[in-house]
Amino acid sequence: MGHFEPYVQLVDVTDRSALVAWGGFRLGEHGGGWRAERAGETFGVRSEPYGRAAVEVLDGDGTVVGRTVTDEANHAWVEGLRPGTTYRYRVTVDGEPWAAGRRYDWAPGTLGEAWRPLDQRLRTHAGGDMPDPVTFLAIGDFGVGIGSGADGERQLAVARTMQRLADAVDVRFVVGLGDSIYHGPEGRMEATGAHDEDWWLTFFQPYRYLLDHLAFYPTTGNHDSSDTEASDDRRQLEDNLYLRIRFEPREEDGRATIDPGLFYRLRVSALLELICVDTTWGVERGMHWFDEPGQRAWLERTLAGSDAVWQVPFSHHPAWGAGPHHEPMAEQLGRLVPLYRQAGVRLLLHGHEHNFQHGVVDDLHYVVSGAGGKLERRTPTRFAEAGTQTWAAEPHCLLVQVWPDRLVVVPYGPTPAGAEPAPIARLRPDGTVTDEPIVIRRDA
């Protein structure tokens, strides 16, 4: 008969509001293992309402400070919150708590009892003039599916690292560096990510106990679009990550521009503004989306107009890189890098190459983090032209800490069950080894 497994997701927060979603997956047993069944739209903007729902946000005393009721969607914004404040939230559907009963998590060959309770808390972003330090996680090239052999084992082990870090450190959100979903039921290149069931083992299950309390801020990779895949997954990204619900309101005041491509800025506090830059190819226009005139103008205004202490652009494709599999995107050197330099940007975050790389070119640091599930074990070959400082052929995620005077980036490797997260050992071009944090100082 199968089993319906409910999920909740803290989709987004601002300084005064939160977007919460709920849904689930119809699971069935096949050949000794469990998979999500084709059941139509069960999660995301297009899913049919499960009933009359209420989302309530509670303060530290348990007092309801915000409430939204809907029978038209499986998501809702709750407004009227305070900046830089921690709350809890709850969802009821037809008067019953959503996902509050017996829950199950995927395990190889079976469904097991849920291994931990849901963490339904949220923290609003600080106001634009509040100089709050910020810590976040970043991961790229991860959406392989935790049931897909060695790639899936790496994804699961890195997801475990992220969970342990989020338990130990005041992590505020997760940044996705692209290639959020590779696999579908017919294989990598056919209809991948085009249906809700494709997302169960690639996204919602491995990060279940992060997504319940940490917003996920994506960028688009070549496997999320038609650059590499036989299908373009942008419509499903838009649906399951609520891109229009989140970012179309920001277009009105210039904080986003999502059609064509995906570009937005995220002001977290007076210290940090993240800028999502879509580096995928727009086949409809025959150009990269960052060359589309409207998006180009938005980037120029955004980079020039910020008063944040740190601006950190993030995109899937790097402008520089030592390889070995991918060439750097040379178009960025003339089109994007000059804008970054004029704005005083000190750090860029990328995915795409399935390893770790840290490079510096004329005092502009970049980090390639493309091994959240995929992995390239061959040694890079272009250290000199890429300004390579360190690299590693290790699965990992990034922990990024933002302070008034410095940025600190540490890549953490996969965590075996029962172990604690540890930084990966990185190689310098001369072959020496380091696991020291990457520190970028404001006055350097």
3-state SS record for 420-438 = CCCECCEECCCCCEECCCE
The helix (run of H) or strand (run of E) holding residue 340 is: helix 337-342
The helix (run of H) or strand (run of E) holding residue 385 is: helix 383-386
> What is the reported pLDDT for 416?
87
Could you give the CA distance from residue 297 to residue 83 in angstroms, rounded to a whole number?
Answer: 30
SS3 state of residue 304: helix
What is the distance, to the nearest Å, from the Cα of residue 297 to the centroid of all Cα atoms in its chain?
25
The pTM (predicted TM-score) of the whole model is: 0.95
Q: Which domains does the chain have, with CATH numbers?
A: 126-441 (3.60.21.10)
> What is the reported pLDDT for 180?
82
> What is the reported pLDDT for 193?
63
Are the C-beta atoms of 137 and 170 separated by less than 8 Å?
A: no
> What is the reported pLDDT for 186?
43
CB burial of residue 206 (10 Å; 0-12, 13-18, 19+): buried
Are the C-beta atoms of 199 and 43 separated by less than 8 Å?
A: yes
> What is the reported pLDDT for 230?
47
> In Å, what is the CA distance from 375 to each residue of 56, 57, 309, 324?
41, 40, 34, 12
Residue (of 248, 246, 251, 195) closest to 218 by Cα position: 246
User: What are the pLDDT tens digits along the chain (444 aa)?
Assistant: 589 999 999 999 999 999 999 999 999 988 778 889 988 899 999 999 999 999 999 999 999 999 999 999 999 999 999 999 999 999 999 999 999 989 999 988 889 999 899 999 999 999 888 899 999 999 999 989 998 899 999 999 999 999 999 999 999 999 999 988 775 444 444 445 678 898 999 999 999 999 999 999 999 986 655 445 445 567 888 899 999 999 988 877 778 888 788 999 999 999 999 999 999 988 888 889 899 999 999 999 999 999 999 999 999 999 999 988 888 888 999 999 999 999 999 999 999 999 999 999 999 999 999 999 999 999 999 999 999 999 999 999 999 999 999 999 999 999 988 889 999 999 999 999 999 999 999 986
